[in-house]
Structures are given as C-alpha cells and as structure tokens.
Structure 1
C-alpha cells in the first residue's frame, strides 16, 4: 500500500517531540508498504527549525529509515499569532505540494491527523483528488474539550462551526482513528457507526529499549546522581502537566537525600517551577532541557522510577494516551502517578503502577520502592511484558494494517496470508 499521512507536528527520533507517526510508518514500511509523512519543518516542541536553515525552498524530501518525509517550510513562532501564521502556511503549502504529487503517484490511503483540523481537511481534499480511502485521525476532540473545560459553550458560534467541521470529516472518512479509550464513545454519540471507529493509542518502539545507544548528553545529566534513587519525569512542563504536586511530593521527601527527582523537558511553567525549587532550597530536584526522542531509552535506563501527574480536569474526560507512560513501561520502570484514581481507568490496577491523589501515600510508595531492588525488578519485568502485549508498535501497527488491507483490497490480513 501507498500511505500518506498529514501531521503538521510530526517529528523523527532525532528531534524533540513524540514520534507516533514515525514509529507507525517504520513498522508499516518494514512490512513492505510505502509511507509518506507531510510535516512542518519548524519543531513545535523545541521551537527550532529542523530543515530549512537559510533555505528558501517551499518543501524538501528526506528519506529516513525507509520513510519519505515531505518537510514543509513554515515560519518560526513563539506566540499565538505566529502559530496561526505557521498553521496557515503548512495548510496552504502542504495542500499545493500534495495535489501536485497526485499527478505523479496515487496513494491508497490518506490519513489526516487533527492536531489542528486544517491538516485533516488537507488530507480529505488530497484523498478526494486521488480517489482513495480517507482516514480521519482525531487526536484532540475539538471543540468538545473546550466545551468540557467551560472555555466556550456548546452553542458558541465557534463551537458550532467546529462541530460542523468535525461531523463533515466523520461523514467523509472511511475510518475515524481515536487515541483515547473513551473517545470512541464520544464519536459514536455523534451518530458515527461504531464499526467505523479505530482505537489506536500511542505506543512505543521496543527495539530502542533493547539496543541502548549511550550519549554524552545523558551521561552529563546523571553526573552526581550515580548513587541516587532517581525518579524521572520526561515531557512538557505546562499547566496541564500539573507538576506543582510533584514538587510538593519531593519537598516532603527531602528527608531522604538519596531519592532524587529529575525533570527533563520544557514548557510555559518550567521557569516558575525552577524558581520555586530554588526558593525552597530543594537540593533533591534537578531540571534539564529536553532531549531528542532517540535519547529517551538510554536516559530512562539510568533511572529507577518514572513519575507523572494528571490534572483532575475535563481534559481527561475521554481518556488519555501519554507517550511517557509507555516509555516508562518499556524501560522497566515502576510508575508513580499523582492522579485521581478514577481518571486512570484500568492502569490503576496494573502491577508496578501506583496511582494516588494523597501525596503522603505516594511518598511511602517511593520510599518503599527505593529500598527494594527485587520488587522494582519484578514490577519492571511485568510492565515490559504488559507494554509489549498492549502498546508496542508491532502490535498496534499490525492492527491498523489489517484494517487498511481490508479496506483497500477487500481481504483481511489473515486471509491474504493464506
């Protein structure tokens, strides 16, 4: 199959940010399919240009591990207005470039991924031009999340426009892909046939955790922490990441000097968090800049536990699919979760995952874990097997491939094998 993916914010393991579509594309490519990803050249997470340094080209093709990337040259930004310009630039340029490419080749399936809905619209228009199957990947429920948050009412003119756009994409799509387990119920509530909806969460490439690649950058992070019990947080430092309770937790743990929190990432709240740690003289907390995705496995191999905090908010009403959770599992790290247990669904009952909204309880969990290497090893092995069965891209990619083959060729994967 020839598969085209439109994801404005797609990255590669060499860059900062999630690699959902790279990992999916790599698996499909390894199975003989051709995959093209149309992505912006400006990295939303690092706020850095990845491709067009002093170049005026509108686009550039790069082959990475068998995957064809079409990098769209988009303007840099730091603030909201600049981001809008960036979105419009990607939308117009990717549409023009892909439409021209349709004259040379025809995709079998086009996936439009709605980190913002205009990328999904481009995907639909290209699929229509190519007369091929169109999949709508709804990564964020726009505008339902804004409505659930109370930011706008369901009758707001902007909400009505976005609902209409969402319904249009649902109608035109052969399949609707969602990342959150409860999101499929939302899509069905909008009148979409349940058989049309595919639950495809984020996953992890386990090969990277089995073949670690040491880096000097990571080794430098852990200088002075060699004999510490390191609890790692990787990811954004924003309001939704709810990191203040994590700092509260380690303020309580300051009486255990061998237990250390390492936060790796960036975001709007990072400077404020760093200032707080400095003012409270917390020597058991360290902040580091984000690293490329390819360095995460080695980084986590040097930690003893992973941590995550989930804001009790309507944002997670329809579930969540955070890359860091699967990365922690793949690294064999027990996970401490500062969260309302009701938000975490089945995860709260998984061995090695500790979900608590009471910091005193979680404090004791971390102290107990630091004192038992055998318990950590047993929990880590269980989590590695759990993520292999449920969230590896080998499993998730096969599930999607089976549906694609059925849609394109009219036969199931098993039937084709026979």
Structure 2
C-alpha cells in the first residue's frame, strides 16, 4: 500500500499559461500558489511555444518538459511556432490538443491521477481535451470561459453566425457547456449569454444555470507592491513632474491606440500634459511614424518594457487609460482585463474609452467611462481629472485601491475552491 495522499490533485489545461518569470497568462499560477494552503496541488499543462514572446522552450523532439515554480508544476507540451499566420496558429492549437492525451497519461503514471481538471479556453480545443480526459479518469471537468470565442469570431468578421462554420461553432460551444461539470466565466455578464441562447433548463434547454460561476481576473496586491519597491524603471519622463497620461498593453487594432495620438494632438499646446505609451504590437512602427510626422511632442512611444516594471510605471502615472475599440468587441458583459486590476492597484484614476456593462469602474467610482470613443471625449476626461480638486482626485485613487482588494487572488481563490468542491471529486459520469 502506498502512502495516503493528503492533498487534492488538480490539473489545469491552459494553452498560454506561464509562471511570472515568463511572458504569458499567470492566472493559473496565481490560483495555484494560493490553493496550496487549501490542500490542493496544481499541475499546469501549457504549450512550449510562448505565443507572446516568440520563444519555444523545447528545441528537440521531446514530447514535453517539466518545471517547478514555487511548488507549482508546469508541464510544457511540445508545440510548433504560431507566429507566421493563422494556419500556423491553428496547427499550434491542434498539436497542443492532440499531445495532451499522451502527456497526461505519462504524467499520471509518474505523479498520480487528477482529482479534478480545469480546462481554460484561450481556444475551445482545451475544453474538449479537458472533457475527454476527465471522462477517461472519471473525474469532474470545470470549463473556464475566458472569452465567448464564437461570438468574438463573429464580432471580428472572421465568420458569420448564420454561415455553416458559424453554426458548427455554436453547436460545438453548446456541446462543451452541456458536458462541463461546472462553468466559470471571467466576465460577470457572460452568464447572460446562456439565457440569450435559450440554452438554460428553465427555458427548456439542457444547461443548468446553477453550474455557472463568475470569477474575474485579479491582481496579487502584495506582489504588485513589492515590484514597485524592487523594480524601479529608470525613465526620466516618469519623473518629469508632468501630468502623465499612461497607456500600457498591446498596440494593435482592437486597442485603438491611434485614438490616444488623436487625443494628444488636441492637447499638444498644454505643456504640462504628456502621453506615455508602453507596449508592443503590429501598429507600433506606424504610430511612431505618426508621432514624428504630426509633431506630437507630448507623446513618448516607449515600446516593450518587461512586465516586472509595470507596477512602478503605473505608480508614477497621473491617470491610466483603458483604451479599446468600441466596435471590435462586445463590452456589454463586462471586462476581465488583467490591466484593469493592475490599474486599480496602482491607486490612480482610470479612464476607459468604452462604457462597459457590469462596470467595475462605476461600481467602485474610480474613474470615467466614455459614452463615445472620440478624441474630443477623451481629451475632456483627461482635463477633468487634471483640474479636479485634490480631494476629488485622491478619492478616485483611493476608491481604485480599495476596489482592487475585491479582486485580490487570495480572495478569488476561495471562490475557485468553492466551485471545485461543488462538483465533487469522484466524477459525475
């Protein structure tokens, strides 16, 4: 007889998951660290090709490699590069899905079977693998819905809902939701989607709404504060004494960063306001060219900066901008952006260029949401915050800091533990 296991073994399937030392999604790691004290051991199965860094952790024919990060096990599945085009990205997803079956089989022989599987949906094949592998081990599968992927595909015009492909995607989505033992949505309003589709049992459908849960992204506040102290960025613009309008994140069409440049042009005569843009993306070179050609002396395109410096950057801002396209995404169900909670943790006011449903900014009164994503509207909001009284300004910042506590990972972890316990750990099939 082997030694009795005194912990619950949770497997997480998340294609883009990484520890904090790498560039990717750290949500699984943040949960895993906090779940250790609740009697859970987490193994994260991720892709070896780090999509956000263009780095592959495996350079030979190994099926996978294992790494330990603060007692969180990471298994990186050998996947090819996805950087070239859409076809390469699809091949990358399929490779991750197909190899998961053999990788998890080998892992179970070495480290034991799972008690539950959490499958996250940067793409739906992760969910499909989770459901199929959970059935094999006779354990529950919790499906985490990061984005409503068919809806996002339709919003970006890559397929139409009424097309053959669209109908197949929706049918596949329904199949996954029906067979999941529990659903975790990252945006508060995403539960509404099940009702809009008439898929719930109360509407004559097949999906029990009570198995749907909401756990947003969040922030590790102690770690955030330590990074401010330990990772100061030597950037003269941050310490210029000017009113720093800061944007951090990807520079691509959905983020509509050109709108910030249009706004800066309207405020170019105000010598005390400067726009600091940190990030990389396929529009960076184009926007740098615009800054030069249009003589935007109040804009500094900083390019890529290691994420360990971001807390310090945000701590030196005057106002942080959540800048999105109004039309390229459905914001009515809320926002799960990691950036939002980092902005809040910095204790500075926030301006969002879109008005969100289930608005966290409105809930905690920590900034301004624009009715229209127009440069004139954004300029007015910036000036409103710049010239408000010190008490008003400090109140917005304190509200942001207090609101961030509601999304601290220790608190969110208890919600995840409740979901895991709700499905039981002996399987429901």
In the superposition, the TM-score normalised over structure 1's length comes to: 0.89
Distance 1:148 1:168 in 2: 21
Q: Which residue matches 1:116?
A: 123
1:303 and 2:317 correspond = yes
Q: Which residue matches 1:9?
A: 16
Q: Which runs of structure 1 show a deviation greater than 6 angstroms over 4 or more consecutive aligned residues?
A: none
Question: 3-state SS of the aligned residue for 2:65?
Answer: strand
1:81 and 2:87 correspond = yes
Identify which range, 281-290 or 64-73, moves more after superposition: 281-290
Distance 2:82 2:360 in 1: 39
Q: Which residue matches 2:203?
A: none
Contact 1:221–1:288 under 8 Å retained in 2? no
Distance 1:22 1:221 in 2: 30
Q: Which residue matches 2:204?
A: none
Q: Which residue matches 1:32?
A: 39
1:155 and 2:173 correspond = no
1:329 and 2:338 correspond = no
Q: Which residue matches 1:414?
A: none
What is the aligned counterpart of 1:198 among 209, 213, 217? 213
Unmatched tracts of structure 1, length 5 or more: 411-418
Distance 2:182 2:411 in 1: 19
Identify which range, 326-335 or 234-243, moves more after superposition: 234-243
CA deviations over 1:200-222 (Å, ceiling 9, x no partner): 11111111223235567x62344
CA deviations over 1:149-172 (Å, ceiling 9, x no partner): 554333322122222221221122
Q: Which residue matches 1:96?
A: 102
CA deviations over 1:158-188 (Å, ceiling 9, x no partner): 1222222212211221101111222111124
Distance 1:353 1:129, change over 3 A: same
Distance 2:41 2:310 in 1: 27
1:65 and 2:70 correspond = yes
1:290 and 2:304 correspond = yes
Contact 1:139–1:179 under 8 Å retained in 2? yes
Distance 1:90 1:374 in 2: 52
Question: 3-state SS of the aligned residue for 2:329?
Answer: helix
Q: Which residue matches 1:227?
A: 241
Distance 2:182 2:422 in 1: 12
CA deviations over 1:320-376 (Å, ceiling 9, x no partner): 31111111001111111222x365635335423111235434324323434555543
Q: Which residue matches 1:168?
A: 175
Distance 1:294 1:174 in 2: 36
Contact 2:46–2:77 under 8 Å retained in 1? yes
Distance 1:13 1:97 in 2: 23
Contact 1:260–1:284 under 8 Å retained in 2? yes
Distance 2:101 2:236 in 1: 45
What RMSD over aligned residues (CA atoms) do the two structures have, in Å? 2.4
Question: 3-state SS of the aligned residue for 2:277?
Answer: strand
